[in-house]
């Protein structure tokens, strides 16, 4: 398992914190021990005075007075005091007690620590003007007596506990702070605020929690897309199902024989059932994109698909003519067939609604690189573009209507946009036909172009890639 940045931050924090804690304890122990085991300054001054007095006798070569002075210290001050050479030989006539002979090499200076567990402590004070030292056994009343219980509590409990509390507080804020931000974002998401972004609140942070924020934002974005697509699907479905309902109403008021009317009604009911089934399928594809794989789908003739669409449109617009020019043996995968059928029905119905005369439908096989050269590029506006040299099927629909203003070409593929609101309303349009076409062409990884000229009406051209090239673009 690969460890992330947060793991190493926590490891480094604990390791560095422990190292600093041990260093602090060592420093505190050293400083406190020194301060509690040093001879009191007043006592140091007293010992130094004794040494200075002994040195004055040695400087004047008055060894007799020196001997009396040392005897005075031993008797009246209850201390053992001597003047020794650097070879540890006494310069006075006093005899060194046997118990101190083995400790002469372990003399302590005035400013050295004296620990409480030492029973016999010899303090050696070097004399300045003679090659000798004043040695005295430290009296009991001058022996440092530190409060080790308090020191032990401070070093083993108070300082470590304070350091651990600070480290815990830092780690808590470092981890819980981002989690609180995510908690607030979850509340916003629960209240349908789907555009709430978490990652910008993390600043330049780069660790597992920032990755979690990225994942949360991606999840929120995906939920937003799903909600939007589901709403779009409901609108599209209501638009699509309106067409067979219109034809059913026409059938009910027509004078066709009962058998033919029944056949047409069954057909329209099948179309509505197909719409509902395919709507469920599209919703599944939106939630599970991998379910939309087209590899296992077969091929169907384009002429059969267009014939089915044209039969439905001719029945609804029997007073107008559709002129076709379809190359034989054009094939599409079944996955593209459904989307193409829905797209073509929307396009041809729109053309019939607004055309004053005939509508022209043509289909041929080619590729975007060469076949688009037959068009005047300056006259066409690209709506969906997937640059590819792979072959596919082109289908072009041309009406004889008034066309669309150039400044509105990019808007007619927006949901519920109508060029002529009164005219669209009178023809039963809902403003969703062309947006549905655009969405279906994008799902099929195809291409879409439009053209509108005053003398030529409105034209739309679609490109559907062949089966083996879908998902390669």
Q: Give the mean model confidence (pLDDT) for residues 452-457.
A: 76
CA-wise closest residue to 54 among 79, 76, 77, 82: 82
Q: Which residue has the higher pLDDT, 417 or 86?
A: 86
Whether 231 is covered by a domain: the verdict is no
Q: Name the band, by pLDDT with cuts 50, 70 and 90, for residue 388.
A: low
Q: Name the band, by pLDDT with cuts 50, 70 and 90, for residue 69.
A: confident
Domain boundary among 127, 142, 157: 142
Q: Give the mean model confidence (pLDDT) for residues 280-293.
A: 57
State the burial class of residue 350 (Cβ atoms within 10 Å of its Cβ: 0-12, 13-18, 19+). Answer: buried
Q: Which residue has the higher pLDDT, 65 or 372?
A: 65
* 402 and 457 Cβ atoms separated by less than 8 Å: yes
| Highest-pLDDT range among 26-35, 42-51, 363-372, 400-409 | 42-51
- Give the lowest-confidence range in 5-14, 67-76, 431-440: 431-440
Q: Which residue has the higher pLDDT, 447 or 32?
A: 447
CA-wise closest residue to 284 among 462, 443, 445: 443
pLDDT exceeds 80 at position 456: no
Whether 421 is covered by a domain: the verdict is yes
pLDDT tens by residue, 155-167:
677 777 887 888 7
pLDDT exceeds 50 at position 429: no
- Give the lowest-confidence range in 27-31, 92-96, 277-281, 315-319: 277-281
Q: Rounded to whole angstroms, how far apart are CA atoms 446 and 439?
A: 10
Whether 164 is covered by a domain: the verdict is no
Output the average pLDDT for the chain. 76
pLDDT tens by residue, 305-324:
888 888 888 877 777 888 88
Residue 191's φ and ψ, nearest 5 degrees, are: -95, 20
Where in the sequence is the domain holding 88, given as residue range(s)?
Answer: 39-142
pLDDT (0 to 100) of residue 23: 81
State the burial class of residue 159 (Cβ atoms within 10 Å of its Cβ: 0-12, 13-18, 19+). Answer: middle
Phi-psi label, residue 415: left if phi above 0, alpha if psi -120 to 50, beta otherwise: beta
Whether 197 is covered by a domain: the verdict is no
**Long-range contacts, stretch 404-410, CB < 8 angstroms, 24+ apart:** 404/450, 404/452, 404/458, 405/452, 406/381, 406/452, 409/381, 409/450, 409/452, 410/381, 410/383
pLDDT (0 to 100) of residue 293: 46
Whether 5 is covered by a domain: the verdict is no
Q: Give the mean model confidence (pLDDT) for residues 207-234.
A: 81
pLDDT (0 to 100) of residue 472: 43
Q: Name the band, by pLDDT with cuts 50, 70 and 90, for residue 408.
A: confident
Q: Which residue has the higher pLDDT, 90 or 428?
A: 90
Q: Give the mean model confidence (pLDDT) for residues 296-308.
A: 74
Q: Give the mean model confidence (pLDDT) for residues 440-458.
A: 80
pLDDT exceeds 80 at position 437: no
pLDDT (0 to 100) of residue 292: 46
pLDDT (0 to 100) of residue 334: 58
pLDDT (0 to 100) of residue 400: 84
Greatest distance between any 2 Cα atoms in the chain: 157
Q: Name the band, by pLDDT with cuts 50, 70 and 90, for residue 374.
A: low
pLDDT exceeds 50 at position 473: no
Considering its fold, how many domains does the chain have in total?
Answer: 2
Tell me the pTM. 0.46
Q: Give the mean model confidence (pLDDT) for residues 185-214.
A: 80
- Give the lowest-confidence range in 113-117, 182-186, 268-272: 113-117
* 392 and 463 Cβ atoms separated by less than 8 Å: yes
Domain boundary among 142, 176, 191: 142
pLDDT tens by residue, 74-105:
887 778 888 888 788 887 766 777 777 777 78
Kindly report the CATH number assigned to the domain that includes residue 137: 3.30.450.170
pLDDT (0 to 100) of residue 278: 61
Kindly report the CATH number assigned to the domain that includes residue 354: 3.30.565.10
Domain boundary among 108, 142, 176: 142
pLDDT (0 to 100) of residue 427: 47
Q: Which residue has the higher pLDDT, 170 or 332?
A: 170
pLDDT exceeds 60 at position 197: yes
- Give the lowest-confidence range in 99-103, 408-412, 420-424, 445-449: 420-424
pLDDT (0 to 100) of residue 315: 78
* 163 and 13 Cβ atoms separated by less than 8 Å: no
* 54 and 127 Cβ atoms separated by less than 8 Å: yes
Whether 84 is covered by a domain: the verdict is yes
- Give the lowest-confidence range in 61-70, 138-147, 278-287: 278-287
Whether 397 is covered by a domain: the verdict is yes
pLDDT (0 to 100) of residue 146: 63
Whether 392 is covered by a domain: the verdict is yes
pLDDT tens by residue, 107-152:
888 888 777 667 778 888 888 878 888 888 888 777 776 665 666 6
- Give the lowest-confidence range in 146-155, 227-236, 258-267, 418-427: 418-427
């Amino acid at each position: 398992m690969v460890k992330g940045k947060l793991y190493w931050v926590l490891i480094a924090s604990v390791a560095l914190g422990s190292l600093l804690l041990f260093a602090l304890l060592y420093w505190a122990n050293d400083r406190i021990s020194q301060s509690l085991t040093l001879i009191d300054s007043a006592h140091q001054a007293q010992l130094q005075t004794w040494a200075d007095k002994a040195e004055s006798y040695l400087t004047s070569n008055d060894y007799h007075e020196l001997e009396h002075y040392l005897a005075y210290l031993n008797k009246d001050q209850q201390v053992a005091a001597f003047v020794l050479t650097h070879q540890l030989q006494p310069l006075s006539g006093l005899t060194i007690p046997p118990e101190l002979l083995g400790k002469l090499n372990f003399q302590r200076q005035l400013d050295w620590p004296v620990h409480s567990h030492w029973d016999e402590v010899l303090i050696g004070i070097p004399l300045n003007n003679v090659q000798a030292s004043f040695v005295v056994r430290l009296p009991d009343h001058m022996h440092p007596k530190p409060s080790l219980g308090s020191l032990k509590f401070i070093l083993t409990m108070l300082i470590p506990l304070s350091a651990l509390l600070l480290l815990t507080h830092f780690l808590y804020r470092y981890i819980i702070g981002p989690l609180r931000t995510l908690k607030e974002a979850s509340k916003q998401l629960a209240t349908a605020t789907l555009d709430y972004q978490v990652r910008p609140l993390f600043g330049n942070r780069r660790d597992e929690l920032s990755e979690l924020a990225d994942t949360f934002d991606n999840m929120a974005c995906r939920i937003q897309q799903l909600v939007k697509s589901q709403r779009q699907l409901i609108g599209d479905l209501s638009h699509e199902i309106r067409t067979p309902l219109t034809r059913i109403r026409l059938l009910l008021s027509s004078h066709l024989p009962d058998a033919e009317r029944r056949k047409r009604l069954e057909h329209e009911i099948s179309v509505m059932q197909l719409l509902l089934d395919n709507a469920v399928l599209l919703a599944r594809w939106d939630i599970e994109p991998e379910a939309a794989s087209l590899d296992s789908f077969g091929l169907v003739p384009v002429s059969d698909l267009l014939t089915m669409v044209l039969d439905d449109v001719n029945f609804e617009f029997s007073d107008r003519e559709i002129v076709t020019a379809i190359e034989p043996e054009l094939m599409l995968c079944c996955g593209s067939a459904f989307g193409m059928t829905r797209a073509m029905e929307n396009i041809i119905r729109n053309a019939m609604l607004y055309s004053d005369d005939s509508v022209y439908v043509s289909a041929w096989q080619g590729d975007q690189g060469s076949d688009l050269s037959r068009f005047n590029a300056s006259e066409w506006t690209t709506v969906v573009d997937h640059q590819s040299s792979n072959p596919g099927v082109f289908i072009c629909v041309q009406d004889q209507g008034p066309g669309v203003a150039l400044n509105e070409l990019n808007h007619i593929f927006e949901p519920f946009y109508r060029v002529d609101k009164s005219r669209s309303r009178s023809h039963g349009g809902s403003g969703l036909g062309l947006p549905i076409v655009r969405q279906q062409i994008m799902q099929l990884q195809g291409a879409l172009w439009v053209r509108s000229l005053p003398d030529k009406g409105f034209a739309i051209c679609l490109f559907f890639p062949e089966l083996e090239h879908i998902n390669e673009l």
